[in-house]
Amino acid sequence: MSRLRSACTTAAATAAVTVLAAVPSTAAPEPGGVAALLTQLKSLYQQAEAAGEAYNTTEQALAKQRTAATKAGGGLAEARAALARGRSAAGALARAQYRGTPELSGYLQLLLSDDPERAVEQQHMLARAARGTVATESLLVHSKQQADAAAAKSGAVLAKQQRLAALKKRQRDTAESKLRQVESLLAALPSSTLAQVAALDRGQTSAAQQDFVDSGALGPQGRAARPATPTAAGAAALRYAVRQIGKPYAWGAVGPASFDCSGLTSTAWAHAGVKVPRTSEEQWRALPHVPLDRLRPGDLVVYFPKATHVAIYLGDGKVVQAPHPGARVKVSPIAANPLLGAVRPDPAGPALSPAAYRPPVLPAGAEQGTDTGSDVAAPAE
């Protein structure tokens, strides 16, 4: 990973001062080679991040299964305890009846008794005991059924937990394999080629951003005298995200030292006191959607047809994101990746007044580095 990050940092720094035309022709790859190389790099980045998001999804499912396993284990213990109590009660009744059940019928006891009233009372007690025996036997059968069912459920939960753990390991191995491919590819490139690739990437992003702004999809944002303001929670989430700029991307990470794309957005909102789903797919599915021309800072911007990437809206047509493996948290143009839409974690919150909101101050170099996220869907469980 250290070589990967070093290579990515070198490419980003070189691209900041180098354009494609400035690279000597003798160092340039064959025609179309730079574009093909950039496409290959993006594909590897996307596959690695997709494996990370799949890992996140499985981790969440595994956490739920652990909770279910604990609950099932508690239910099994309770059912076994009830079965033991039922068996004890059944044994006590059996012993009592063996010692106390008279050989004469209740009718004869009543005729021969010196105290008919007491005999009637004895018959009443015997009848109650008989009913108690039947009830205890029924309870015993029910308790055994419950214990058997709880044991079966506990076993099924454990088996699913083991399957999820195996899936999680495969996803981790897939992500690591993709990262090694990116690392090997970048390590083999000369600095001149890295500069061309990075410059082409920035050029593509700038063109996409300009087309998006010109389309009017953002409405008057960035040009209006009074731009949209966040809620108090949105402002807090955005401040947290900005403080993470420069920290490395790491799949499965939710901070504080590193983040993946949805780890950054979910943790930022958690620090604002609002719980949002862990993965980009879940954030898109569960949170209220908001039109792009009504975006306010703090909203989450979701990318690609299958919602496999997410960022937090900064304002003025920019987002804060953890772009891809090997990159660092940064500020990017909102159209750096194909937009799917946006969601709002706190739709009921009132927006701050313009006088009450001050956008966070960005650190130096906040926009350096590549911007591409992932458009590869996570595999099904």
pLDDT tens digits along 162-214: 777 777 777 777 767 777 777 787 788 888 888 888 888 888 888 989 898 88
CATH ID of 221-356, from 3.50.50.60, 3.30.930.10, 3.60.150.10, 3.90.1720.10 = 3.90.1720.10
- Of 29-33, 247-251, 257-261, minimum mean pLDDT range: 29-33
Full strand arrangement of the beta sheet holding 318-321: 289-290, 339-343, 300-303, 309-315, 318-321, 330-333
Q: What is the pLDDT of residue 324?
A: 84
Record the pTM.
Answer: 0.64
Tokens of 126: 């015997």
Q: What is the pLDDT of residue 102?
A: 46
- Of 15-29, 157-171, 197-211, 274-288, minimum mean pLDDT range: 15-29
Q: How confident is the model at residue 107 (pLDDT cuts 50, 70, 90)?
A: very low
Q: What is the pLDDT of residue 80?
A: 61
Interval 278-290 mean pLDDT: 95
Question: 174 or 49: whose pLDDT is higher?
Answer: 174
Strand pairing category for 339-343 and 300-303: antiparallel
Q: What is the pLDDT of residue 141?
A: 63
pLDDT tens string 357-370: 999 999 999 998 87
Average pLDDT, the chain: 74
Task: Reply yes or no on whether the pLDDT at 117 is more than 70.
Answer: no
Question: 133 or 366: whose pLDDT is higher?
Answer: 366
Q: What is the pLDDT of residue 26?
A: 32
Task: Reply yes or no on whether the pLDDT at 329 is more than 50.
Answer: yes
pLDDT tens string 135-151: 655 655 666 666 666 66
Q: What is the pLDDT of residue 173?
A: 79
* Bond from prior residue into 360 cis (ω within 30 degrees of 0): no
The amino acid that residue 99 corresponds to is R
Task: Reply yes or no on whether the pLDDT at 120 is more than 70.
Answer: no
Q: What is the pLDDT of residue 360?
A: 96
Interval 94-101 mean pLDDT: 56
pLDDT tens string 60-90: 777 777 676 666 566 556 656 666 666 666 5
Question: 240 or 34: whose pLDDT is higher?
Answer: 240
Torsion of CA 343, 348, 350, 351, to 10 degrees: 0
Question: 261 or 71: whose pLDDT is higher?
Answer: 261
